[in-house]
Amino acid sequence: MEDAESKSKEPAACLTFRGQAGFFGLIATVFSLPIPVVLFFVLQSVLGGDTTEELPQNGPLQGMVLFLVFLLLAAFCWRLAWLRMRPLLRVGREGIEANLGVAIVRNSPTRWLAAFGLLRCEKGWIPWYEVRTLEARAKVTEFAARQGVNGGLVIEGTILPKRGDSPNPAGVPLGTALAIITMEFPSTPVRVAEKIRPYLDDPELRKTLSSLFES
């Protein structure tokens, strides 16, 4: 899979970096498969069938608990996969848009809030004039103590909630820096940074991109 893709629009497309939804989709599938089987045996036990070999002695109750556990785990993993079906980053005329369900905002629980559907705005953006640093780092443990040991892409700048169709900054800033860990990219953070940096350094080049707020 290409780590950046263009959508044919005038004057040009936003530079789009996609993630790896397949990994979480596979885990979700694994948790989903036992659900109908467990539900079948629970219903059979409730309706008076003989399931002594399939279910514990307390039958329906323990079977229902097991069913709910698999159901919740599968739903959560499908949610994580769905969040990663959206672009991780979009680079447009006004700035850089980030998927808050994947990006880790420093000292903020936005990623977990988005994972549980509690974040009202699941996209943030950093205007070009706010971007102070854009680089791939060998470690990003200040963002994620465990996951950050393998590095990631770091963007420092005021992160604004992306709402509506206007680039005018609005709302309370969500943070001042974010990171996307290495495992989220099909390629590497270094390659992603190399593709974005020319637009950071050249204001005229940015004008060739589409607006982040056109779609």
**Is residue 214 situated within a structural domain?**
no
Is the same domain home to 122 and 146?
yes
**Cis (ω within 30 of 0) for the bond into 173?**
no
Q: Domain residues for 195?
A: 15-19+87-206
Taking only the tens place, the pLDDT of each residue in 108-125 is 888 888 888 888 788 999
- Higher confidence at residue 163 or residue 30? 30
pLDDT at 131: 96
From start to end of the chain, where are the E strands? 15-17, 89-91, 95-99, 104-105, 123-127, 133-137, 152-161, 175-181
User: HEC profile for 123-185?
Assistant: EEEEEHHHCCEEEEECCCCCCCCCHHHHCEEEEEEEEEECCCCCCCCCCCCCEEEEEEEHHHC
Is the same domain home to 71 and 99?
no
Is the same domain home to 37 and 123?
no
pLDDT level of residue 96 (50, 70, 90 thresholds) = very high
Q: Domains in the chain: how many in total?
A: 2
Cα gap 131→115, rounded to integer Å: 26
Give pTM, 2 decimals.
Answer: 0.79
Taking only the tens place, the pLDDT of each residue in 120-179 is 788 999 999 999 999 999 999 999 878 888 899 999 999 999 877 666 666 788 999 999
- As a whole number, mean pLDDT of residues 57-76 equals 78
**Is residue 1 situated within a structural domain?**
no
Is the same domain home to 137 and 57?
no
Q: Tell which residue, 121, 126, 119, 132, has the closest CA to residue 98.
A: 126
**Is residue 39 situated within a structural domain?**
yes
Under DSSP, the state recorded for 211 is P
Computed over every residue of the chain, the mean pLDDT equals 83
Taking only the tens place, the pLDDT of each residue in 172-196 is 889 999 999 999 998 899 999 999 9
Domain's final residue, options 39, 57, 82: 82
Is the same domain home to 104 and 185?
yes
- As a whole number, mean pLDDT of residues 7-21 equals 72
Is the same domain home to 93 and 114?
yes
